[in-house]
A and B are shown apart, each in its own frame.
Chain A
Amino acid sequence: MFSRPKGWIPGLLSKPKNPHSLEHLKYLHGLLCKNQTVTEHNRSLLVETLRSISEILIWGDQNDSTVFDFFLEKNMLSFFLRYLQQKSGRYICVQLLQTLNILFENISNETSLYYLLSNNHINSIIVHKFDFSDEEVMAYYISFLKTLSFKLNRHTIHFFYNEHTNDFALYTEAIKFFNHSEAMVRIAVRTITLNVYKALSPASDVFSAGDTDISSPNQNSTDEEKLMSTLGRSHRMELPGANSEQMQASFSLENRPYLEAIFNALECSENDYEALFALCLLYAMGHNDGIHQDLMDSVLMPTERSEAKDHYNIALVERLIRIITLACQHGIKVRLSTLELSIKLLRQLVFRPGRSYLQDRHLACIENARECSTQLLRNFYKSEEIFLDMFEDEYTQMKNKPLNVEYLTMDASILLPPTGTPLTGIEFSKRLPCGEVERARRAIRVFFLVRDLSLSLMDEREEQLPLNRDNACVRTNDILDLNNSDLIACTVLMRDTRKQDRRFLVIDKLQMILVEPDTRRLGWGVVRFVGSLQDVEVTGDKEDSRSLHITIHKPPSSQHARPIPLLSARFIFDDHIRCMAAKQRLSKGRIKARQQKMQMIERLLDIPGDSSGKTSTPGRARPVPGRSHPVRVHTQPSTTLNQLATPESNEASRRPKSAPAANTSAGKSESASRVSQNEANVEVAEEAAAFAYQTFNQQTGGAVPKRHSPSPEQNNSNVQEIPLEDLSRNKKRHSGRKVSNTKLTGLAHSSSHTRSQSHSPKRDEGLSSNRGRSTSLTINVTKRDRSSTPTRRSHSKSSPAPMVTHSKSRASSQSSASEAPVVPRKSSRDGSSQSPKTLRPADTPALSLLSHDGLLSSSGIDAPKLLPPAEMDRIRSMSDISSTSSDSQNEGSSNSSQNKPSDQRPNFTYNSPSGAEAEVSNINADQNTVELVKEGQSSASDQLTKLAQIVHEHYRSFKDEGEEETNLSHGK
């Protein structure tokens, strides 16, 4: 009561005296003492008092130390804090913040500053719950923090770390406003953050007090270096001496904070954001020459430099395996890059070329992952075309663009959190899949990657991928022996260049090939274009029944790139029948090629074969011929079509050889042939006339018409042609069974057989497969030569005519179909193995010619004679061929088992059911029969052979002269 007026009056009086004096501060202190509680009434007074205090203190800081002494003595800071704690403190908190702000901003005496900062007073102000919805409070608060942050240095930073709450309030409170709507606030937050970091960076020892190692000038120390300095040299001595096996067992992450942090970052169950960086780092460590191998060894991380990798870091390997296993699960956020890098790193740790050091239990994990990846992909498997395209596309991408860690780390996009949006433009492997298609792609890629890893760890070679076996494929400028191939002459009109070329179309099992006759060797051709059959798009021409529009797209380099046409051209054939035949064979070839590959995929994925069995049967029956006779020579005696076709096809095969002599005429005739079919035919005929061939052909052609009408015989012949190849194999393989089967084989039988074959071609063949294949090829050739013309076949296929024996015919067709998958592979392999560049095992041209001739003649003769002779011919031809190629091959082929139905086919091929039976009998007889056949054949075809020889001689004489001209003509 009494003191109040006292306090008031002197205060009012003393105030004007000198605002900047110790007395004034004493007076203000008195005011504070009398107003320890903030109320509505004293609010403005206190605000003014606080404002004055800051003013005096700053003045005192520069002019009179006693002023601050007084402030200290009276512990005036505690007044401030107490006001703040009061409920009504909000009335003056803006002023309080301003006062403090001024104090900290202006006090130059460091002992004073330190005092203000001491004992968490400021921290408690910082964490005080101000009303931040008040803009003014917000503004003063944030600028107070900012002011404080400028006082941060490596000494004062200790004031701001509250050990009790384990909090760095200045920082943690400030960043709460990083996203504040006020730009000024955000800027202040950034300033504060930077100031905090600035204070932290020069003295990383701040928060590791007592740890003298870190404060050493070498901040880039490793766990090991730290350990060394801690334990002294004794430890160093231990390391190399320690038994590495013990090390592997005893390795722990204790005392290895850095490594532990990296290892822990490999956890991918949430996402793989950090894991990818950790992997990059670990990978880089293994490739950094600057890191001593000793150091890497001490943490059991072998590198490419390591001689042996017996002892690897189990903790790390298990983490890697976990990533790999995770990646094989559905809906897991592990990017492909992460998976690939994990695999890379795993290889680095445990794999040396040809040797894996992975322990069995870990290997089991990898195998399990592989199984999971297969399972995963199986879920995406569809028998749609797009799946195959994707499958092959992903494979080439994986092979062509293996992960480059250096580039990966240069890519800024990996700094972003993993995203699934393709629109970001981030590469597929560096983001998560989006949508079903991308998930399928990812599953495919995971499958490839894990499979590849598994195979190399097991030291197995990849046998099933890629689906395209390069060595089995023909390339441009290869020279092929086309003597026994099906060729269709055509004129190719390129759409873009308008260039016109006369070519022969060869349809392999996987490829569409355009050849130009080789001028040097008769019956050989130079490959001018190769396209994948599965990518062929054929459309007819409404205007012109002889034309086809064929487009082949290059497999797209990337998913989003527009496919570039490899070939886009109009093919003009000599007549509409050939055109249709070509179209049919192309489209069937496409389907077949794809089916075949799909089956390969199914096998890869262990998808049960029932689907393939079902799908294959209908498709196979037709395509078989096409497939099985990738390279057939058109020399069929029968069918009107044959008449037309044969000459040309013969032409094609002949030309190379005949070229020298007949080239001039041939070249001209070629060009002429484009004009019209008839003309072409005529020309062809003319050309042919020069050769002994022609006569045969014509004869055969003449003979054909009779057969041509859809008759059992014909059908048989058609069917037979194809099966012939098969027969050769069948004979020897199934010789025992054949007899019984041949007649009995109904559809069911045949089909079942076919299935079994189709599914297990590779397995069954085993070691003998090579032989069998090769033989089969040769055999095929002969068969084709003799009996079948491509056009015919197609016909026969398209309309399996009523057969003499229905069951047989069907069976044969089926069997052929079933065999087809087997055959093409075999043949292709054979070709590759024997003479990589020829589709067929390259007999010497002369020989092939001979056989050809012989076949032609025989076929011609046979055809009219119908069944019995046909059989004989066939058998003979086969034997001939085999003899030409090699007897052993035949045997081999026989070893490669084929079905009984196939046995039947041969009969059919000869166009004579009886013949077929005869064959069967022959087959039963096995080799003996074969030999017999040979004899018989030779006798039968003797004349032909001789004729052919004569012709050959004739050509040779012309060769020298003709060569120049041929070259010229080809140059065109």
Chain B
Amino acid sequence: MSYAYLFKYIIIGDTGVGKSCLLLQFTDKRFQPVHDLTIGVEFGARMITIDGKQIKLQIWDTAGQESFRSITRSYYRGAAGALLVYDITRRDTFNHLTTWLEDARQHSNSNMVIMLIGNKSDLEARRDVKKEEGEAFAREHGLIFMETSAKTAANVEEAFINTAKEIYQKIQDGVFDINNEANGIKIGPQHSPSNPNMPSPAGGGSQGGGCC
């Protein structure tokens, strides 16, 4: 149960692109073909290991509907990572990425790691957005890009973990102020008693070195 770090995520994207299914696949390792429309937010959590460190991911799954946009916005703040999801079989969900990105950039801290995810890669036959297009968009906006399938679980783990790695890397780079919970990063509880002065065992040296 103890973790070195806690990262908070937010999953955003148009309604019906498979946000909740990604979360479910990631947390429960299962797929639910028919999923209720998310009203407001849902919550999921899972422990992963990066670089030998236990890292807890707390994930806010948000409603894609326009009417809940204002609710969603209140979750950007305090998120270290965001999964921006579109549906490769629906171009309009891809077209809306700009809006989502603007929204995210507007309301999140500038260091938030954003992973662009083209979901439903299992539906290759109905593909409407080429992978290259996604890659190009990600490159253009400085995002990490992956195509996933919540159904087959392809790349789902990777998507969350790679995001965590990116965040972890940023922490190692000293970009994040890990003492500010608003950044969506918390240091695990076991650190405070044992090593209160050392923010993190792994990055402690580098960061500490940076500080001192």
Q: Taking beta carbons and an 8 Å cutoff, which residues of A are in contact with B?
A: 65-66, 69, 72-73, 75, 110-111, 114-115, 117-120, 154-156, 158-159, 163, 206, 209-210
Segment at the A interface, from B38-46, B82-90, B153-161, B193-201: B38-46
List 7 additional A-B contacts (Cβ < 8 Å) besides A111-B75, A119-B36: A66-B189, A69-B58, A111-B41, A118-B42, A156-B71, A158-B71, A206-B67
Interchain CA distance A789-B6 in the complex, whole Å: 126
Task: Give the contacting residue for A117; candidates B36, B40, B186; CB below 8 A.
Answer: B40
What number of A-B contacts does a CB cutoff of 8 Å give?
Answer: 60
Q: How large is the interface on B (under 10, 10 to 19, 20 to 34, 35 or more residues)?
A: 20 to 34
A-binding residues in B (CB < 8 A): 6, 36-43, 45, 58, 60, 65-68, 70-71, 74-75, 78, 181, 186, 189
Cβ-defined contact, A118 with B66, below 8 A? no
CB atoms of B66 and A111 under 8 A apart: no
Establish whether residues B40 and A115, one from each chain, have CB atoms under 8 Å apart when the complex forms. Answer: yes
Given that A65-B181, A163-B37, A209-B66 are contacting pairs, would A115 and B71 also be in contact in the complex, using a CB cutoff of 8 Å?
A: no
- For residue B45, which residue of chain A has the nearest CB? A73
A115 touches B37 (CB 8 A): no
Shortest distance in angstroms between B101's beta carbon and chain A's nearest beta carbon?
A: 21
Q: Which of A75, A114, A163 contacts B74 (CB 8 A)?
A: A114
Q: Do A114 and B39 touch (CB < 8 A)?
A: no
Closest A residue to B58 using CB positions: A69
B72: nearest chain-A partner, CB-CB: A114
Secondary structure dominating the interface of B: mixed
Whole-angstrom distance from the CB of B180 to the nearest CB of chain A?
12
- Shortest Cβ distance from B186 into chain A, in angstroms? 8
Please determine whether A210 and B66 come into contact, CB atoms closer than 8 angstroms: yes
Sampled A-B contacts (24; CB under 8 Å)? A65-B181, A69-B6, A69-B45, A69-B58, A72-B45, A72-B58, A73-B43, A110-B74, A115-B41, A118-B38, A118-B40, A118-B42, A119-B38, A119-B39, A119-B40, A154-B70, A155-B71, A156-B71, A158-B65, A158-B71, A159-B39, A163-B39, A209-B67, A210-B66
Shortest Cβ distance from residue B185 to the other chain A in the assembled complex, whole angstroms: 12
Query: Is the beta-carbon distance between B41 and A118 smaller than 8 angstroms?
Result: yes
Q: Which of B6, B43, B181 contacts A72 (CB 8 A)?
A: B43
A117-B39 Cα distance, complex, nearest whole Å: 9
Q: How far is the CA of A588 from the CA of B78 in the complex (A)?
A: 103
Q: Does B39 contact A155, Cβ atoms closer than 8 Å?
A: no
Roughly how many angstroms separate A140 CA and B71 CA in the complex, as a whole number?
28
Distance (Å) between the CB of A944 and the closest chain B CB?
107
A115 with B67, Cβ < 8 A, contacts A65-B181, A110-B74, A163-B37 known: no
**Whole-angstrom distance between the alpha carbons of A114 and B38 in the complex?**
12
Partner of A114, one of B37, B41, B58, B181: B41
Q: Please, how many angstroms separate the alpha-carbon atoms of A158 and B181 in the complex?
A: 28
Least distance between A875 CB and chain B CB atoms (Å): 102
Assess A158 versus B42: contact at CB under 8 Å? Given A65-B181, A114-B74.
Answer: no
Residues on A with C-beta less than 8 A from B42 are 118-119
B67 near A111 with CB under 8 A, answer no
- Nearest A residue to B77 via CB reads A111
Q: Given the complex, which residues of B lie within 8 Å of A210, measured CB to CB?
A: 66
Residues of chain A within 8 A (CB-CB) of B45 are 69, 72-73
CB neighbours of A163 from chain B (8 A): 37, 39
A158 touches B43 (CB 8 A): no
Min CB–CB distance A104 → chain B (angstroms) = 14
Q: How far is the CA of A122 from the CA of B112 in the complex (A)?
A: 32
A26 — nearest CB in chain B belongs to which residue? Answer: B1
Asked whether A158 lies within 8 Å of B68 as measured between CB atoms, the reply is yes
| Complex contact B74–A118 (CB within 8 A) | no
Residue of B nearest to A209 (CB): B67
Q: How far is the CB of A214 from chain B (nearest CB, A)?
A: 14
In the bound complex, do residue B74 and residue A111 qualify as a contact, i.e. CB atoms below 8 Å apart?
Answer: yes
Whether A111 contacts B70 in the complex (CB less than 8 A), given A69-B58, A119-B42, comes out as: no
Given contacts A156-B71, A210-B66, contact A111 B60 (CB under 8 A): yes
Please determine whether B43 and A115 come into contact, CB atoms closer than 8 angstroms: yes
Query: Residue B40 contacts which of A69, A159, A206, A209 (CB distance < 8 angstroms)?
Result: A159
In the complex the two chains form, what is the Cα distance from A69 to B60 in whole Å? 11
Among A72, A117, A158, the residue within 8 A (CB) of B67 is A158
Q: Which residues of B contact A72 (CB under 8 A)?
A: 43, 45, 58
When C-beta atoms are compared, the residue in chain A nearest to B74 turns out to be: A110
Q: A69-B58, A73-B45, A159-B40 are in contact. Are A114 and B66 (CB under 8 A)?
A: no
Give Cα A657–Cα B6 distance, bound, in whole angstroms.
125
**Do residues B78 and A111 form an inter-chain contact, with CB atoms below 8 A?**
yes
Residues of chain A contacted by B67 (CB below 8 angstroms): 158, 206, 209
